[in-house]
Structure 1
């Protein structure tokens, strides 16, 4: 069958091959989010601020790397595809770079700091190499609302399954070896596990047969300037800005929660022994709820599913933050159930929405720019986690945390407040942002029909009132400035619709 976007059927084997890639995305971020700070402070001997600073420094590199990879994957032309070629190139770097993060290096304090800055930069390079093109695949393979939702559901099942592995095994591996060597063993095992899927992703997925527009070569600096101007236009897409607020509300809350979870359980609850089991229970609950979340998203839409999930997750965070060292194991697992069941939809829905944002962009620009949005979101994902971890490091210092020591009453009270209030506030921001979210199954179908009409040469003045209203509400522009009209008129930056 011809490889045409929206025509070639996406079968279950293709969905599984696609989802397999997020073993790396979900698993690596989970392990880094829950253990990297602890490793750097309690094993390597860096301060919380230094540990957070290492992750934050990586974002300076990402600011150039991820958008550049997204741009390349939009414009590259090879026999192995413009996006999927990166999956083959990234296999070895993924395995090596993740392993290097967990080497308990010896030497001066300055050497340790420099080494982990380098290792984290290398990891970010490998991550961007595969995950930026990967994030375009749902939009490349199909335009169907339900098929994309199923693909995202399967992807999230793999992602949360990897998070479960990251919750259950790493700490057990670490505890099985002395002097921090368990971290290195864990890093090697998971580095290999994260590298293997990319061959199968390459074999089981495809790209649309979009004919690349031939462009005259420009000097490098001019190309780079044009690249970042291109990325800047994404923020003029109203649906993208709403989506971004939803995404940050859920994912930054998750990053803060994950970064503080070990400290809360080990130092506030005095139950370090239940850390791995409790976290594993949260993750397996997330995986089990993925089919239900996918079904609800198809039937009721992304907005309602997201809000229900965020409310349940927020309840779980508040309940868990009120637990103490005297809390029964039954109550601990009940709170963990709320965390897992709510978090399932909170992390799935934002990724389910991203391909639809690219469709809205096409109505604005006439172009398919999945790489632009994938590169931008990979950068934002890593930046948000880095910022969260860095701020957690500052906050831990602010409340008086001392590694490997009994904490003062004031420190424990501060830790509890951080653990409860910050994620809950971010969740509330995510929920409030959905007031402006307009991508429903019905609106998406109307949008696609209008895009197809304009592609076929349909005139702007023949748009139906319903299509006009939908396109304006999704894009934030008056209809006359859509389909490249704003660029032709030089008014792309002037929004006319709220």
Structure 2
């Protein structure tokens, strides 16, 4: 009998607070960094967007490399001593303060480029192994949903802080004082350092008795691959993730929701300041309101995902957010922005949709490695996390780049409170119709997604049968579970458990 580790509230909360890094810094960056660069640092929109573009070129290498590294770090002394995942979280704690260095005002363009690139690497080094921890700690569908709920709930709390804090500091220190953003980033750096310490202390990695024979063999073998063979292995593992049908569906839903939010976030401050002609503090207040209702939405999404399944819940919140984006355009068209209550109520409704969109994909992610295990016979949480992190940051940077380029070519001038009609129309078109288009793509993909509480339980039972720790003593997939397993994997039973060309094959 395998003794399961008890999971208590402190474990859920300790894991959850780790997303102060993933969500808090992302929220502050997505909403304010482009505005900070163009309005306080003297950068043109094109110069600012080049910073984000350079980071994505670097990240195309760093994120999948980090995923590959954390999957294979258990072979090393440090990996065995501190954990193949948790070692990187530990060394990332002091490095997290590089986030504050990014927001120092009055520096050169090269300074902003290099500090952004450095923090981007630190972010990846921590977040990729952090994202693998839930599949490491439990296989239970409901426990995974609770871990995801704790994570995204904390993420929304950090987003509330990211929404309100810059506005509060701008009101206190002066609306033209760039040091407000440095202080806001310093608060987040301190909170992230504390949160990551809790993650390190109160989470764990998969115990040996739950690992497959292939995993244990891979960790025990001290193979020494050449650089060429290691690089080949990395590329094969990276590309193989896209052969997993349900991961492709998951990415479609994830990107559909998150890119829409990235477009909205990068545009919203400009919408409030230059389209509605209000102060930046108003934008901060409205973003804060969205963040509050996002937190409420996450609490409601946990039972909905368990009862109705992630796909159905996702379609509901996508519809709410899409209608909200359209309503922001209606407010401008009918000149209703003077009625502050309308802006407040609409922001609150948008937050409900955004909170649900934030929760569902990261809840789904915790189950992807289970499906991959029955296909490959290996646990590859790291490589999936690397792909997820890269796509997340690439989508955010792409949205910000789109905004910057559009502003530049539409004639935006940072030192003028009144912009031309071309600028106003560009902001509105991207924020409203750009977001709705991407949301529609995610909605369509969700119609094909079949993973839920019932099908996941069948999957885990069949994995345990193959490992010899289930009810089937023949170490094979049962006839009852066969249809569900084939539906989720998109493959025949005789092609599973490594009998395929998915992933790197040892010679």
Say which SS state the counterpart of residue 79 (structure 1) adopts: helix
1:30 aligned to 2:32?
A: no
Task: Report if aligned partners of 2:468, 2:474 keep a CA contact under 8 Å in 1.
Answer: no
Any conservation in 1 of the 2:137–2:205 contact (CA below 8 Å)?
Answer: yes
Question: 1:231 offset after TM fit, Å?
Answer: 1.2
SS of the residue 1:485 aligns to: coil
Helix, strand or coil at the partner of 1:78: helix
Q: Take 2:180 and 2:227, find their aligned partners in 1: how far apart are those partners?
A: 45
Counterpart Cα distance in 2 of 1:357 and 1:262: 35
User: What residue is the counterpart of 2:76 in the other structure?
Assistant: none
Partner residue in 2 for 1:89: 91
Equivalent position of 2:460 in the other structure: 448
Bigger drift between 123-132 and 220-229 goes to 220-229
The match for 1:305 is 313
Distance change >3 Å, CA 46–CA 480, structure 1 → 2: same
The answer to whether the 8 Å contact 1:309/1:345 transfers is yes
Q: Structure 1 155/489 Cα, relative in aligned 2: closer, same or farther at 3 Å?
A: closer
Please say if 1:102 is aligned against 2:107. Answer: no
Mapped partners of 1:199, 1:260: distance in 2: 34
Q: How far apart in 1 are the matches of 2:502 and 2:243?
A: 16
Q: Which whole-Å CA distance do the structure 2 matches of 1:460 and 1:47 have between them?
A: 66
Equivalent of 1:340 in 351, 354, 358: 351
Partner SS for 2:501? helix
Cα deviation, 1:276-307, whole Å, max 9, x if unaligned, reads 11111110111122211111111111111111
CA contact 1:54–1:117 (8 Å) conserved in 2? yes
- The TM-score with structure 1 as length reference comes to 0.92
1:147-296 alignment to 2 at 5 Å?
147-175=143-171, 176=173, 179-210=177-208, 211=216, 212-272=219-279, 273-296=281-304
**Match status 1:429 vs 2:429:** no
Cα deviation, residue 451, structure 1: 1.0
1:109 aligned residue: none
**Quick one: distance in 1 between partners of 2:99 and 2:235?**
29
What residue in structure 2 maps to residue 316 of structure 1? 324
Q: Distance in 1 between matches of 2:200 and 2:292?
A: 27
Aligned pair partner of 1:438 in 428, 431, 450: 450
Q: Distance in 2 between matches of 1:223 and 1:45?
A: 43
Deviates more, 1:277-286 or 1:463-472: 463-472
**1:213 deviation in Å?**
4.5
CA shift at 1:412, angstroms? 1.2
TM (norm. structure 2) is: 0.91
**2:497 paired with 1:483:** yes
The alpha carbon displacement at 1:105 in A equals 3.1
Greater shift, 266-275 or 255-264, is seen at: 266-275
**Is 1:12 matched up with 2:26?**
no
CA deviation profile, 1:453-477 (whole Å, cap 9, x unmatched): 1122979996444422222221222
Q: Distance in 1 between matches of 2:421 and 2:405?
A: 19
- The 2-side partners of 1:388 and 1:8 are apart by 42
The alignment partner of 2:88 has SS state of: helix
- Give, in whole Å, the separation in 2 of the partners of 1:404 and 1:427: 33
Cα distance in 2 between the residues matched to 1:490 and 1:287 = 40
Q: Which shifted more, 261-270 or 180-189?
A: 180-189
Superposed CA offset, 1:66-89 (max 9, x none)? 222222222222312111121210
Q: What corresponds to 1:496 in structure 2?
A: none
Q: Distance in 1 between matches of 2:480 and 2:404?
A: 50
Question: Does the alignment pair 1:130 with 2:126?
Answer: yes
3-state SS in 2 of match to 1:436: coil
> RMSD in angstroms over aligned alpha carbons?
2.1
Query: Unmatched 5+ residue regions in structure 1?
Result: 107-111, 492-498
Q: Could you report, residue by residue, the CA deviation over 1:195-215 in whole angstroms, capped at 9, with x for unpaired residues?
A: 221111111111112342424
- What is the alpha-carbon distance in structure 2 between the residues aligned to residue 246 and residue 481 of structure 1? 27
Number of equivalences: 482
* SS of aligned partner of 1:270: coil
The question of whether the paired residues in 2 share the 8 Å contact of 1:399 and 1:415 is answered with no
- What is aligned with 2:386? 375
Q: For 1:261 and 1:146, how far apart are their aligned partners in 2?
A: 35
Question: What residue ranges of structure 2 are gaps of 5+ in the alignment?
Answer: 74-78, 209-215
Query: Quick check: 1:460–1:480 contact (8 Å CA) kept in 2?
Result: no
